């Protein structure tokens, strides 16, 4: 190449080394900048990002009943928990949990549990919303895809899922109206 052999042998940094470094760096940065629009075009579009919030009327939900609502295309489980279910969730020692989280944190109003109904393993929708469906060994939800069991606080107890059912952002507008999102 254009290197002079004497300088290369001496290990001295030359102007040419500098020019090569600058040229290659410019090419690398330029390529990355040029590729980015194509990569980023696969990310959620503005239309998808325009968040919808969902309001749920809690009035008609009886104790022990669970309803499913859609939020951002995902199912959200709203459970009106019975005193037994609350007791079962609160009495569980944290060291028995794979993803330790106290029930008080997951359900600030103990009778209402609001979780995203997507198994944290591979994204199936666990069953247990309707009466008669299997609810797993802890009376919460059971994922039929790969056998994950969740308790009455939506916490993972058994099976391949690593984490508890996620909590969506939500606020109580009134005592009987909750806004998700």
Cβ 44 to other proteins, closest distance in Å? 5
Distance of CA 100 to the CA centre of its chain: 16
Cα Rg of the chain, angstroms: 27
Structural contact between residues 117 and 129, judged by C-beta atoms closer than 8 angstroms: yes
Site stretch for other proteins (CB under 8 A), options 22-30, 57-65, 78-86, 123-131: 123-131
Residues 77-116 interacting with other proteins (rule: CB under 8 A): none
64 near other proteins, rule: CB under 8 A: no
Determine the Cα–Cα distance for residues 28 and 13; give it in Å rounded to an integer.
22
Please say if 146 is a catalytic residue. Answer: yes
User: Contact between 60 and other proteins (CB under 8 A)?
Assistant: no
Q: Which residue has the tokens 């005592």?
A: 175
Catalytic residue among 80, 146, 149, 166: 146
Q: Does position 155 bind other proteins by CB under 8 A?
A: no
Binder of other proteins out of 25, 68, 171, 176 (CB under 8 A)? 68
How far is residue 156's CA from residue 143's CA, in Å, rounded to a whole number? Answer: 11
Spatial separation of the C-alpha atoms in residues 110 and 119, rounded to whole Å = 22
Phi, psi of 89 (to 5 degrees): -70, -40
Q: How far is the CB of 147 from other proteins (least distance, A)?
A: 4
What x/- string results for residues 33 through 52 when contact with other proteins is judged by CB under 8 A?
A: ------x--xxxx--x----
| Residue indicated by tokens 């022990």 | 64
* Residue of 124, 139, 167, 179 interacting with other proteins (CB under 8 A): 124
Q: How far is the CB of 127 from other proteins (least distance, A)?
A: 7
* # residues near other proteins by CB under 8 A: 28
Report the distance separating Cα 138 and Cα 119, nearest Å. Answer: 15
Distance between CA 64 and CA 82 in Å, rounded?
Answer: 5
**Site residues for other proteins per CB under 8 A:** 39, 42-45, 48, 68, 70, 72-75, 121-127, 143-147, 159-162
Active centre residues (catalytic): 146
């Amino acid at each position: 190449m254009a290197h002079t052999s004497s300088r290369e042998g001496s290990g001295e940094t030359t102007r040419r080394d500098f020019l090569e470094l600058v040229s290659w760096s410019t090419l690398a940065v330029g390529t990355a900048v040029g590729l980015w629009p194509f990569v980023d075009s696969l990310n959620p579009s503005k239309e998808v990002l325009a968040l919808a919030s969902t309001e749920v009327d809690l009035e008609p939900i009886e104790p022990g009943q669970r309803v499913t609502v859609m939020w951002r295309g995902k199912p959200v489980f709203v459970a009106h928990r019975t005193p037994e279910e609350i007791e079962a969730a609160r009495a569980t020692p944290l060291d028995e949990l794979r993803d330790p989280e106290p029930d008080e944190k997951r359900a600030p109003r103990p009778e209402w549990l609001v979780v995203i109904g997507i198994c944290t393993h591979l994204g199936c929708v666990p069953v247990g919303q309707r009466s008669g469906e299997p609810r797993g060994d802890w009376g919460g939800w059971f994922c039929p895809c790969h056998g994950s069991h969740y308790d009455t606080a939506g916490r993972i107890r058994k099976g391949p899922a690593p984490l508890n059912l996620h909590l969506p952002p939500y606020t109580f507008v009134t005592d009987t109206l909750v806004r998700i999102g």
